[in-house]
Structure 1
């Protein structure tokens, strides 16, 4: 795994990340556009972590902290890089970031029907919380 590099995304990475998510990530979000990701980086420049191997984007995770809770989104690993420690390295970097910010618990948004993701999150030590349900409402400008 020595050839794996984890770094924060920059605005120059936006198009690459969006293309990566379109081909690799399960599901879509109304925030999966250039403006949405740019707002994320403007507000919290260290929140979008990228894993690169040999100059190629291998994985992503959004590690957002709102001052109270640590939130994980968009953990995605390219199929050609799966089962090679990319998700583990991304989550370790996210958890290190959270600890430095004073965060005490991370939560992840994971699609109910994404069994592959469930396996990855459990392997990383995360457990589903059946007593909670997530309620969402898209906000329109």
Structure 2
């Protein structure tokens, strides 16, 4: 893992990240476009973390903090690089960010049907709270 580098995303990374998510992430979101990612980076420049190996994007996580709760989104590792500790390294970097900001709890959004992801989160010390159900409403058509 010594060749793995984790850094924050910049505006110049947006197109690469969007292509990466199409290949590596399960499903897409209404905000998975250039403007949505640009807003994320402009609003919270430290939130989108990228894992790179020899200059190649191998993983991402969004580590968002709203001042009250820490939220993890878009944990994704390229299929050719899974089971190599990249997700663990990204979550550790996110958790370090959260701790530095004074965060006390992390909520992760994980697709119900993505069993592989459930294992990753569980192995990283997260647990599922079945009594909570998320309700979402897109703000754009």
Q: Shorter-chain-normalised TM-score: which range?
A: over 0.9
Equivalent positions of 1:53-92 (< 5 A) are 53-92=53-92
Q: For residues 137 and 62 of structure 2, what CA distance do their matches in structure 1 show?
A: 20
Aligned to 1:37: 37
Aligned to 1:28: 28
Q: For residues 88 and 140 of structure 2, what CA distance do their matches in structure 1 show?
A: 35
Q: For residues 116 and 10 of structure 1, what CA distance do their matches in structure 2 show?
A: 29
Equivalent positions of 1:1-141 (< 5 A) are 1-140=1-140
Q: TM-score, normalised by structure 2?
A: 0.99
Deviations 1:22-63 (A, max 9, x none): 111001100000000000000000000000001100000000
- Where structure 1 has 5 or more consecutive residues not aligned to the other structure, the ranges are none
Distance apart, 1:97 and its partner CA: 0.1
Aligned length: 141
Distance apart, 1:80 and its partner CA: 1.1
SS at match of 1:62: strand
RMSD: 0.8
Q: For residues 88 and 30 of structure 2, what CA distance do their matches in structure 1 show?
A: 27
- Where structure 2 has 5 or more consecutive residues not aligned to the other structure, the ranges are none
Q: For residues 55 and 28 of structure 2, what CA distance do their matches in structure 1 show?
A: 26
Q: For residues 140 and 116 of structure 1, what CA distance do their matches in structure 2 show?
A: 30
SS at match of 1:49: strand
Q: TM-score, normalised by structure 1?
A: 0.99
Distance apart, 1:122 and its partner CA: 0.3
